[in-house]
Amino acid sequence: MENGSANELKDNEPTQNNDHQPTSDTSSTTEENVQTDSICSYNDAKKYWSNVSPTVDGMLGGFGAISFIDIRGSEQFLKHLYKLKPAPGRKRALDCGAGIGRITKNLLVPFFEQVDLVEQDEQFCQTARAELADCGPKLGTIFNAGLQDFTPEQGRYDIIWVQWVLGHLTDQDAVQFFIRCTKGLARGGMMVIKENFTSSNIVDVDRQDSSVTRPLAVMKQLLKEGNMRVVKEQRQTSFPKDLYPVYMLALRPIIKN
């Protein structure tokens, strides 16, 4: 799951992705008072992704053609973060919901001395190892785990990149994950989330892959509860118009650990 919310890119239809970009799905519904713990079944999501092809197109829910635009937008955003003061370091990054390593290979490896990955699907982990074999010492550890169970090493990462995967976490698990990430950041470090968001104030539900697509305001509230504040926000441009709005949010802890 580059994992995550990419499965559903289509607005007004469910979205999900593990770098998983959202695809359209007729099983999607919109619900005003969604209880994410009743929607986000980790076992069902794991089963869904176990049947997805370990390719860029598979990771992006059939939207593999947007990968180049996606990476370029992320690259520009990341470069802007290094103009802020204090800027993050460039030693270690963490790719969360890394799928087959698309983001690690094309975005993070050129920026950082070493990149770790977290991915719950073992087949995707194996493909990532093969795809990133020529990265040498720049490839760090590949953790085979879901984000709901993962705890980053304290003070290790200059950038924690989380893309198209938070739709698989319940609200409570997302908040706890954010709290753990605040502790995993190095001095001056940042967390970046890049996700699909609904264009209304209603949560979109994809029962096929057990994910939700939240409104931006809902995500910001979860981030606040998770001790994260937004320091830079930007919408991804040049995606097809029928896809969900995608935003990049750069985050720092509200209260430093």
- Spans of all domains in the chain: 65-253
The pLDDT of residue 26: 33
What values do phi and psi take at 174, rounded to 5? -65, -45
Res 162 pLDDT > 90: yes
Query: For 65-253, which CATH superfamily applies?
Result: Vaccinia Virus protein VP39 (3.40.50.150)
Res 12 pLDDT > 50: no
Percentage of the chain with pLDDT > 70? 85
Neighbouring C-alpha atoms within 13 Å toward the C-beta of 145:
15
Averaged over 58-79, what is the pLDDT?
A: 96
Least confident of 8-22, 42-56, 70-84: 8-22
The pLDDT of residue 39: 73
Averaged over 71-87, what is the pLDDT?
A: 97
The pLDDT of residue 42: 94
Instruction: State how far the Cα of 75 lies from the Cα of 129, in Å rounded to an integer.
Output: 23
Quote the distance between the C-alpha of residue 147 and its chain's center: 10
The pLDDT of residue 51: 94
Averaged over 6-30, what is the pLDDT?
A: 45
120 marked as part of a ligand binding site? no
Averaged over 33-51, what is the pLDDT?
A: 82
Instruction: State how far the Cα of 212 lies from the Cα of 206, in Å rounded to an integer.
Output: 6
Averaged over 94-115, what is the pLDDT?
A: 98
What's the whole-model pTM score? 0.90
Averaged over 169-191, what is the pLDDT?
A: 98
Averaged over 140-148, what is the pLDDT?
A: 98
3-class secondary-structure state, position 71: helix
Res 95 pLDDT > 90: yes
97 marked as part of a ligand binding site? yes
176 marked as part of a ligand binding site? no
3-class secondary-structure state, position 170: coil
Higher pLDDT, 7 or 207: 207
Other beta carbons within 10 angstroms of residue 50's beta carbon come to 12
Determine contact, residues 21/58, Cβ cutoff 8 Å. no
Averaged over 11-15, what is the pLDDT?
A: 41
pLDDT band for 40, please (50, 70, 90 cuts): confident
Res 27 pLDDT > 60: no
Determine contact, residues 74/103, Cβ cutoff 8 Å. yes
35 marked as part of a ligand binding site? no
148 marked as part of a ligand binding site? yes
Percentage of the chain with pLDDT > 90? 81
Determine contact, residues 6/67, Cβ cutoff 8 Å. no
